[in-house]
Amino acid sequence: MSVADALVDAADDGIDFDGLTVEPYRDAYRFQTPDEDAVVTLEELREHADSPYATNWHYWERDVGGHDTARRAFLRWLEGGDGLSVPERYDALEGGHTRHWGELAVTAVLGRDGQRRYEVRHEDDVGEDVDAYTDPLEARELVKHDDDGRYRPLSTAPSLPHGWAFVDLDGGDLVETVEYVYPATVANWHRERAGDLDVDHWEDAAGRQTGIYGVVSELPDEALEWAAEACCVDSQCLKRREWDRNGDEELDVPRGDGEFPCREPCSLLVAAARKFTTLEREETREYTFELTPEEKEQVEDIVDAVADGRTDEIREADVYEGANRYRARFLRAKRMDDHGNLSGTPTYPEDHDEDEADDDHH
Amino acid sequence: MQALVIVGHGSHLNPGSSEPAYAHADTIRESGAFDEVREAFWKEEPSFRNVLRTLESDEVYVVPLFISEGYFTEQVIPRELRLDDFDPEDWESDGTDADHVTLDAGDVEKTIHYCGPVGTHDSMSDVIVQRAKSVTGRDEFGDDFGLAVVGHGTERNENSAKAIYYHADRIRDMGTFGEVQAVFMDEDPEVDDVTDFFETEDIVVVPLFVSDGFHTQEDIPEDMGLTDDYRTGYDVPSEVDGHRIWYSGAVGTEPLVADVVLERAEDAGAPVGDAVEAVRERTGGADAAAGD
Ligand code: SF4
């Protein structure tokens, strides 16, 4: 139905939307916007079909629909706030209005008759010439691996691959695409904005686990902090952590600045916590190692490089970096025996039988 | 509006694990039977926890892409979907009969039709036969061909074996193959000795697994002696102890599984129109249906 037909169709019931009012008035109709106020016949109402207020109403009420849905709220949010008037919004949309969602840049552009078209790509690829897609389903495969071809088990890890754009999408396809890149983020963001995000804190989420994950509720308090620091901070996950130990005890780890919330510990965190729990059952022991000061710092450099995912960036010949491969090989050649024991110190000295040492491949 | 949610295991390590769920979802999307079709996973996203809230539909059919009834279908999935009133007793199943139950979910205002797993649906027998056809390139088998249906076995739960025997018995009754045997990875009769159980020279071996992975691509081929090292691959068919073994890989990757998913939803009352026929047509299952 054209905008003109839709206006005529809706006139008797009246319209009150984004600054547009249409209502029966005496024997005619009143067409009112912040810029004009006219009393018109039904035929004359058609002539107002190219008013931005009319096309805007038509887009949101006839095309998008879905009042109270996350989809509609997200599309509204993309246009940047309810404070702007329709002509102001149209000005911004003319050349494309972009907002960020995780690592995505989402752009809304004004089309004919108030229609919006949408585009979504990696935020680093804005303005770049990349492969264009139009079917949201293709997003599943595209974002499955990072730029280095490694599988991404956590969709909100900040490792979104580059080099693609979904273009010329309608609102439904846009939201579907975003949801394949960052599943359920729109729904939970929407709940949070409505003030009813149902957060499941660690103790509830851990207590619910069964089978091999049943052990995670034994994770010590301190270790929960470390687990969140390991997995949930912005450098690892773009969701903003809203869960804590329980409703009263917050974790000290920064929640992150993400647009969308994390409402409960995810499966990846729970699986990691299972390992952390068993690791934390071990008692510490005293070992004696000899290291030079530089070697001690080098061990620290290596842990840092692995923890920050920087090993790939350390150049082959950059022997000034402690986590450089040649430096690590040098340290291993010097300090580790044939069984990989640091300083030749066995991990479990009490199990260590001197006579069998040479056959021991552990 | 009505939605279909296919719930699968997924993996943090193996990127291929979710592929069958995606592929079958796409086939059903194409049929147009549902306003929304969504995939959800235990180990990937959207999680079971978060999937229902992503739907606009108020009628939701949830079909587990799992092989047997047990831990996942009776505990994990209902718990994570917040189907608080679910009781496995409501399925009145002895291990292979779970059909569907209608429930509320704790976090959304929707009606949830929770279905039994694809693996125990009768039509899965057709898929196993279809899988055998795909791997051999034949339309018929007759007395010269044997079929081995492979299951995991006891490690997970007793129903895992029941599902295997159930389909082996059904296919034996169809008379499609000269011999039909159920074999297992970790209980007797073992897949390692598969050739001992058949008189027929040709044996088609179909693992009743949802997706290809470690078990179907590494363990089973090595256990049967198709190869010493899965990395070097194996021939189809391969000669082992004077038998020709046609090893198919996981049955769950067969396109016709989409039909089973759809039938699960239809059994639960989803009005799917002529989508079942359309999906069978597309996935090569029209003949299987006719012969059933
Ligand atoms: S639990 Fe942590 S890692 Fe998992 S989604 Fe939430 S914030 Fe991200």
Q: Give A188-210 pLDDT, tens digit per residue.
A: 999 999 999 999 999 999 999 99
Torsion sign, CA atoms A125, A75, B52, A274: positive
- Report the domain count for chain A: 4
Arithmetic mean of pLDDT over chain B:
93
Q: Does B53 touch chain A (CB under 8 A)?
A: yes
- For residue A357, name the pLDDT band (cuts at 50, 70, 90): very low
pLDDT of A97 reads 95
Q: Each residue of A162-185: pLDDT tens digit?
A: 999 999 999 999 999 999 999 999
Phi, psi of A166 (to 5 degrees): -95, 125
Q: Each residue of B50-98: pLDDT tens digit?
A: 999 999 999 999 999 999 998 999 999 999 999 999 998 888 888 888 8
Please write down the long-range contacts of A143-146, taking CB distance under 8 Å and 24 or more positions apart.
A143/A180, A143/A181, A144/B15, A145/B15
Lowest mean pLDDT among A126-140, A229-243, A291-305, A332-346: A332-346
* Residues of A whose CB is below 8 A from B51: 184
How much is the average pLDDT of B165-171?
96
Q: Is residue A287 part of a domain?
A: no
* Spatial separation of the C-alpha atoms in residues A107 and A119, rounded to whole Å: 5
Share of chain A above pLDDT 90, in %: 92
Nearest CA to ligand 1 atom 3: A232
Closest listed residue to residue A270, CA positions, set A149, A102, A153, A178: A153
* Spatial separation of the C-alpha atoms in residues A347 and B4, rounded to whole Å: 53
Q: Which residue among A152, A155, A156 has the greatest number of ligand 1 atoms within 8 angstroms of its CB, and so is best to mutate?
A: A156
* Spatial separation of the C-alpha atoms in residues A168 and A120, rounded to whole Å: 9
Q: Which protein residues touch ligand 1 with a CB less than 6 Å away?
A: A 156, 231-232, 237, 239, 241, 262, 265-266, 268-269
- For residue A352, name the pLDDT band (cuts at 50, 70, 90): low
Please write down the long-range contacts of A281-288, taking CB distance under 8 Å and 24 or more positions apart.
A287/A342, A287/A345, A288/A343, A288/A345
Interface mutation vs chain A, best among B44, B57, B80, B83, most A CBs within 10 Å? B44
Q: How far is B290 from chain A (nearest CA, A)?
A: 32
Share of chain A above pLDDT 70, in %: 96
Q: Is residue A166 part of a domain?
A: yes
In order of A70, A213, A294, the CA distances from B69 in angstroms are 34, 20, 58
Q: Each residue of B22-58: pLDDT tens digit?
A: 999 999 999 999 999 999 999 999 999 999 999 999 9
Nearest CA to ligand 1 atom 1: A265
* Alpha-helical segments (H) within chain A: 3-11, 42-46, 52-57, 70-78, 86-94, 139-142, 171-181, 185-193, 202-208, 221-231, 267-280, 293-307, 325-335
* Residues of B whose CB is below 8 A from A145: 15
pLDDT of B267 reads 96
Looking at A223, A254, A280, which one is the last position of a domain?
A280
* Spatial separation of the C-alpha atoms in residues A185 and A224, rounded to whole Å: 24
How much is the average pLDDT of B176-196?
94
Lowest mean pLDDT among B55-69, B167-181, B218-232: B218-232
pLDDT of A359 reads 45
* Residues of A whose CB is below 8 A from B13: 151, 153
* Residues of B whose CB is below 8 A from A266: 45, 47
- For residue A230, name the pLDDT band (cuts at 50, 70, 90): very high
Residue partners of A5: CB distance under 8 A and separation at least 6: none
* Spatial separation of the C-alpha atoms in residues A138 and B148, rounded to whole Å: 36
pLDDT of B168 reads 97
Q: Is residue A18 part of a domain?
A: yes
* Interface A:B, Cβ pairs < 8 A: 61
Mark whether A14 and A57 lie in a shared domain.
Answer: yes
| pLDDT above 60 (res B102) | yes
B22 exposed, middle or buried (CB, 10 Å; 0-12, 13-18, 19+)? middle
Nearest CA to ligand 1 atom 7: A232
Nearest to A144 among B15, B42, B49 (CB): B15
* Spatial separation of the C-alpha atoms in residues B118 and B120, rounded to whole Å: 6
Q: How far is A187 from chain B (nearest CA, A)?
A: 6
Arithmetic mean of pLDDT over chain A:
94
Interface mutation vs chain B, best among A151, A196, A199, most B CBs within 10 Å? A151
| pLDDT above 70 (res A360) | no
pLDDT of B292 reads 41
pLDDT of B213 reads 86
| pLDDT above 50 (res A282) | yes
Asked, colleague to colleague, whether B2-119+254-288 and B124-252 share their fold, the answer is yes
- For residue B155, name the pLDDT band (cuts at 50, 70, 90): low
The residue with greater pLDDT, B212 or B204, is B204
pLDDT of A362 reads 41
pLDDT of B91 reads 83
Mark whether A60 and A157 lie in a shared domain.
Answer: no
For the domain that residue A186 is a member of, what is the CATH number?
3.30.1360.190
A128: three-class secondary structure by DSSP: coil
B282 exposed, middle or buried (CB, 10 Å; 0-12, 13-18, 19+)? middle
Mark whether A52 and A88 lie in a shared domain.
Answer: no
CATH no. of B2-119+254-288? 3.40.50.1400
Q: How far is A141 from chain B (nearest CA, A)?
A: 9
pLDDT of B214 reads 86
pLDDT of B289 reads 44
Nearest CA in chain A to B71: A211
Mark whether A76 and A168 lie in a shared domain.
Answer: yes
Nearest CA in chain A to B55: A187
Q: Cα of A267 to ligand 1 centre, how many Å?
A: 9
pLDDT of A358 reads 47
pLDDT of B287 reads 60
CB B283 within 8 Å of CB B256: yes
How much is the average pLDDT of A303-307?
97
Q: How far is A264 from chain B (nearest CA, A)?
A: 9
Q: Is residue A285 part of a domain?
A: no
pTM of the model: 0.93
Q: Is residue A288 part of a domain?
A: no
Q: Is CATH 3.50.50.60 the right assignment for the domain spanning B124-252?
A: no
Nearest to B45 among A151, A184, A211 (CB): A184
pLDDT of B90 reads 84
Q: Is residue A286 part of a domain?
A: no
Q: Each residue of A33-73: pLDDT tens digit?
A: 999 999 999 999 999 999 999 999 999 999 999 999 999 99
CB B236 within 8 Å of CB B224: no
Identify any residues that bridge with B247 across adjacent strands, giving them in sequence order.
Answer: B205
Q: Do A140 and B79 touch (CB under 8 A)?
A: no
Q: How far is CA A46 from the centre of its chain?
A: 44
Q: Do B79 and A267 touch (CB under 8 A)?
A: no
pLDDT of A361 reads 44
Structural domain containing residue A7:
3-64
Q: Each residue of A110-145: pLDDT tens digit?
A: 999 999 999 999 999 999 999 999 999 999 999 999
Mark whether A86 and A182 lie in a shared domain.
Answer: yes
Residue partners of B252: CB distance under 8 A and separation at least 6: B20, B65, B67, B118, B209, B210, B211
Torsion sign, CA atoms A60, A66, A71, A72: positive
| pLDDT above 80 (res B156) | no
What is the domain partition of chain B in residue ranges?
2-119+254-288, 124-252
